[in-house]
Amino acid sequence: MTKRLPERGAAWADIKGRLEASKAGDYAWNRGRLPLYVYWRDEELCQVAREAASMFFVENGLGKRAFPSVQQLEQEVVAMTLGLLNGGAHSVGNFTSGGTESIFLAVKTARDFARAERRIAGRPKVVAPQSAHPAFDKAAHYLDMEVVRTPLRKDFRADLGAMKEAVDENTVMLVASAPAYPHGVFDPVEEIAGIARAKDIWLHVDACVGGLLAPFVRDIGYDVPPFDFSVEGVTSISADLHKYGFTAKGASIVLFADATYQKHLRFHFSDWPRGNYITDTFLGTRAAGPVASAWAVMHYLGAEGYREIARTIMETKARFAEGIAAIAGLEILKPNDLSFLLYRSVDDGVDIDGVAEGMADRGWFVGRCNAP
């Protein structure tokens, strides 16, 4: 259907009503019927995120001199995230629009670093476990690179031998997930870092899901394996704020172990009548609202608030696990880390896809995994 711009404008009350009506077919995320896409605690926290974003609705993150406030807020958000992920004195980072952009920038930086410092001649290659996010392949598609996917162990974690074997003279990056999205388990980051150090290769840890949750889950007593800059050999990390940071979308951070890498990230163009055009992210104009929202939410919750959220998440997961395990014909897949919980049918008489469709008919959004 072709929809033309209306000749005359409508009243906001009418427009608002039509927008509300357009949501009629959406799943009821605010009634707990959606286990992904929306990260939510309560209306009070949502109001903080929303109002802070609205305060910077007009400002543009591209204009660093015009809006020094945005730059200051961004720097403080990056610094807080670095603190959570054990960044060093020379570690740096950039605020991005989401995990895909954070991963794209890390891949681009690793490629350009390898070209400049290692003088690789062939097509740059990324070695990633089968469970790594498709954003790595998306980045490689745009950057004329190759991604080699390696098999997983029976526990769904990266197979170290397979990764090591896949490395060649054109490999510019190894990937580890903390945790990987399909199964919710951590790759053995310390061991992969050992390969990276031995081969002198960039290691990126994708902590888009776990970066703002794992530190607090560890704080409250759960076993969380080392995955951040505390591990020697980790070069960059991606961590989403709009997931378990509970900030407005889209907000993510890409972090680098050392500031010297940023020159390979930066885009600089000077052959232009306007003068120099320099960006440290893929976007030019950038929404300032998510930056302000992230800053406000992180200050509103503080470490204490995030620990309480982590406790609620882990206790809720335990209740789900207990309830599902008590249902004949179902079993919990193990291992499972942080907030993830996968289950499947073990009885031929239980069609797990049929269960999913039945739940969907009753208003539940059900995520599915193809392997297993």
Which DSSP category does 256 fall into? E
Q: How many CA atoms lie within 13 A of 27 on its CB side?
A: 17
Tokens representing 18 are 């039509």
Give me the amino acid identity at 116: A
Cα–Cα dist 49/30, whole Å: 16
* Beta-carbon count within 10 A of 231 CB: 20
| Domain 52-297, architecture per CATH | 3-Layer(aba) Sandwich (3.40)
> What's the pLDDT at 103?
98
DSSP 130-164: TTS-THHHHHHHHHT-EEEEE-B-TTSSB-HHHHH
Give me the amino acid identity at 170: N
Spans of the chain below 70 pLDDT: 1-2
What element of type H or E holds 298?
Answer: helix 289-325
Cα distance from N-terminal residue to C-terminal residue, the chain: 40
> What's the pLDDT at 35?
83
> What's the pLDDT at 93?
96
Which DSSP category does 60 fall into? B
> What's the pLDDT at 2?
64
Residue 224: closest CA among 106, 339, 342, 305: 339
Domain boundaries, the chain: 52-297, 303-361
Report the predicted TM-score, pTM, of the whole model to 2 decimal places: 0.94
Percent helix / strand / coil, the chain, rounded to 5: 40, 15, 45
> What's the pLDDT at 348?
79
> What's the pLDDT at 285?
87
Cα–Cα dist 296/80, whole Å: 12
Q: Are 91 and 234 within 8 A, CB to CB? A: no
